[in-house]
Structure 1
Amino acid sequence: MTAFMPITLRFCDNKTMLVGSVADAQTALQRQWPDKTAPAYIEAARLVRLAVEGNCCPRTAFEAFSKAARRQGILMVKSKSRAYDWLDAAASP
Structure 2
Amino acid sequence: MLPLRSRRGRGRPPWPRRPERLRRIGVQLQGSAFSERLTARDQLSTVGALCGIGNTRVEEMLTLVGLEGKAADQVEQLSGGQRPRLSIAVR
> When the two structures are superposed, what TM-score results if normalisation uses the length of structure 2?
0.34
Higher relative contact order (CA 8 A, sep 6+): 2
Higher-Rg structure is: 2
> When the two structures are superposed, what TM-score results if normalisation uses the length of structure 1?
0.33
